[in-house]
Amino acid sequence: MSRILITSALPYINGIKHLGNLAGSMLPADVYARFMRARGHEVLYICATDEHGTPAELAAAKAGQDVRTYCDEQHLIQKSAGESFGLSYDWFGRSSSPQNRQLTQMFCEALDRNGLIEERVDKMVFSIDDGRFLPDRYVEGTCPHCGYEKARGDQCDNCGRLLDPTDLKNPYSAVSGSTNLEVRDTRHLYLLQTKVEDRLRAWIASHDNWPHLAKSIANKHLDEGLIDRGITRDLAWGVPVTKDGQPRPGFENKVFYVWFDAPIEYIAATREFFDAKGKPDGWQTWWRLDQGAEDVSYVEFMGKDNVAFHTVSFPATILGSGEPWKMVDTLKAFNWLNWYGGKFSTSMNRGVFMDQALELLPADYWRWYLIANSPESSDSSFTWEQFQATINKDLNDVLGNFVNRITKFTEGKLGGGVPEGGEAGPIEEKLYGDVAEQLAEATEALETMEMRKAAQAVRRIWVLGNEYLQEAAPWTAIKTDPARAGVIVRHALNLVRLNAVLAQPFMPFSAEKIAATVGASLPLAWPSTDIRAELDKLVTGQTVAAGEILFSKVEDEKVAEWTQRFGGADA
């Protein structure tokens, strides 16, 4: 048994997450966590809301709330949406927690002691009417690159370029709309990443095992050359800046930049978890190499835009602290799940969001679709037609059909019990081999976090079930050779059980229902490679009950209705 620490990129607090967020971080992390638990490992799956930064302040202002109240509410909304989707976090924390404040301040002070923090004077946009600086998204204006008139101080949503607030032409305050702005000097802390560059390079080079996308983005950022990063902002909402445990002189009205404290929340959230359990030191065995974390295997999941922060900025913080922290072992990154070729967008309300998705269909339908079409090797596009096809074929025609057919047959023709007696024949021998091959592929793909590949192999096992029934034809055998029919039905019912086991990471709610048809209950251990034994697990005589319908088809009218409601291709 190993200890496996899993984090998914922290969902930002400004509203409920869309299917893209789910596909690119939380869901694959959950599949991996569930798989590793089924393998018998000790898993700690940590996530949290990312609550600092200007978008949170602006969203709160728009909602007419103070930012703390806004975050309190939004955190609960995201927490419950995650639960409804079956995201099995061991802890879903908050980057605004006292634990994160303390750790963030501690990291900065350690970096400072090691000569890696420098005060520098920056030029920043100041709003005379608002009486404040306008960092990041507090200032909007015309993009100097593409001429888009609603570009934000940190990035242009039209051309995607990263910007500095002072780059904008015709700037105005996002708070008041005022154009009465001037550029003023302001003092900020810089993390001297250039001084840890050698250590960073060596650390990244020692991680040949990272999946391709993460590795290539990490190397691209190294090749472009590291720069020192401003890690504070002129804001009130965030982690206050300290020196020797006291407010840092000259920084009383400043806080850390959100990307400085957000990844530290992975550690802080673990601490929140153990504090809540009344074991305040427990977090250290996961994060401190001097406190027993050497044997932890740490995997991070995220969308591609987050890779640089996890391969360069956060590691620079950790390495620079000079302390024995656990660092990431494997980093799994995802491309974009697009909405009809365009972007899902929270700020523009484009796409399907987690709460809406569950109004339409159960969580497992979305989970299966998003994993089977995971944006792994390239971007992928959500369309209602493809979604409908996946649900109708995979879940209804293949899996649902198999389970339903054999459980109904057992109820109708065999008195509703797992039949005994008889010997496996050549068709069963072939089945063992075929299932073993696909199972090995699914297991390996899940180990290496190749989500699409894993889903395909699992789907092939569903297909093998249908093919087996077709070939072995228990409905014919029962008329002439009841013992033979018993062998076939017993194998098929055991395959139903096996499918429940394999469905656990992908579709936990359906896995439970499938297991129940053959009297099994979750959690079920991941299968061994001995397929003959795996297909002989059910006790003979065990009651079989087809139960409620597993999946329903998505009708054309629904696709038309949802396309209308969510905009589809015209959005």
Q: Which chain residues interact with Zn ion by CB under 5 A?
A: 143, 145-146, 148, 156, 158-159
Binding residues for ligand ATP, rule CB under 6 A, total 20
139-142 and 151-152: which strand pairing? antiparallel
* Residue 210 DSSP class: S
* Residue 517-546 contact track with ligand ATP, rule CB under 6 A, x = bound: ------------------------------
Q: Please list every residue from 334 through 393 that binds ligand ATP, using CB under 6 A.
A: 334, 336-337, 344-346, 375
Residue 159 known to bind ligand: yes
Residue 47 known to bind ligand: no
**Angstrom distance (rounded) from CA 416 to CA 428:** 22
- Choose the one of Zn ion, ligand ATP, none that binds residue 485, judging by a C-beta under 5 to 8 angstroms depending on kind: none
- Sign of the torsion formed by the C-alpha atoms of 336, 342, 348 and 354: negative
468 binds ligand ATP (CB under 6 A): no
Residue 71 known to bind ligand: no
Q: Please list every residue from 16 through 75 that binds ligand ATP, using CB under 6 A.
A: 17, 20-21, 23-25
Cβ proximity to ligand ATP, 119 vs 305, nearer residue = 305
Residue 568 region, left (φ>0) first, then alpha (ψ -120 to 50), else beta? Answer: left
> Which residues, at least 6 apart from 430, have a Cβ–Cβ distance to it below 8 Å?
none
Which H/E stretch holds residue 133?
strand 132-133
Cβ proximity to Zn ion, 156 vs 391, nearer residue = 156
Cβ proximity to ligand ATP, 56 vs 493, nearer residue = 56
Residue for token digits 């001037």? Answer: 182
**Angstrom distance (rounded) from CA 548 to CA 187:** 65
**Angstrom distance (rounded) from CA 269 to CA 290:** 20
Cβ proximity to Zn ion, 194 vs 345, nearer residue = 345
Q: Please list every residue from 247 through 306 that binds ligand ATP, using CB under 6 A.
A: 302-303, 305-306
The least distance separating Zn ion from the CB of residue 162, rounded to whole angstroms, comes to 10
- Choose the one of ligand ATP, Zn ion, none that binds residue 345, judging by a C-beta under 5 to 8 angstroms depending on kind: ligand ATP
12 binds ligand ATP (CB under 6 A): yes
Which H/E stretch holds residue 411?
helix 401-413
With CA atoms as reference, report the closest residue to 87 among 50, 48, 56, 52: 48
Cβ proximity to ligand ATP, 259 vs 432, nearer residue = 259
The least distance separating Zn ion from the CB of residue 9, rounded to whole angstroms, comes to 25
> What are phi and psi for residue 96, nearest 5 degrees?
-90, 15
Which amino acid, residue 351?
Answer: G
For residue 66 the two structure tokens come to 């103070």
The least distance separating Zn ion from the CB of residue 147, rounded to whole angstroms, comes to 7
The least distance separating Zn ion from the CB of residue 166, rounded to whole angstroms, comes to 15
Residue 146 known to bind ligand: yes
**What's the burial of 290, exposed, middle or buried (CB within 10 Å: 0-12/13-18/19+)?**
exposed
Residue 69 known to bind ligand: no
**Angstrom distance (rounded) from CA 291 to CA 324:** 9
Q: What is the layout of strands, in order, in the sheet containing 42-49?
A: 91-94, 42-49, 3-8, 296-303, 330-334
Cβ proximity to ligand ATP, 21 vs 410, nearer residue = 21
- Choose the one of Zn ion, ligand ATP, none that binds residue 499, judging by a C-beta under 5 to 8 angstroms depending on kind: none
The least distance separating Zn ion from the CB of residue 144, rounded to whole angstroms, comes to 8
Cβ proximity to ligand ATP, 67 vs 414, nearer residue = 67
**Angstrom distance (rounded) from CA 9 to CA 314:** 12
The residues facing 6 across adjacent strands are 45, 299
Cβ proximity to Zn ion, 145 vs 553, nearer residue = 145
- Choose the one of Zn ion, ligand ATP, none that binds residue 330, judging by a C-beta under 5 to 8 angstroms depending on kind: none
The least distance separating ligand ATP from the CB of residue 422, rounded to whole angstroms, comes to 50
Query: H helices then E strands: how many in the chain?
Result: 23, 18
Binding residues for ATP: 346
Residues that bind ligand ATP (CB under 6 A): 9, 11-12, 17, 20-21, 23-25, 302-303, 305-306, 334, 336-337, 344-346, 375
Annotated binding-site members for Zn(2+): 143, 146, 156, 159
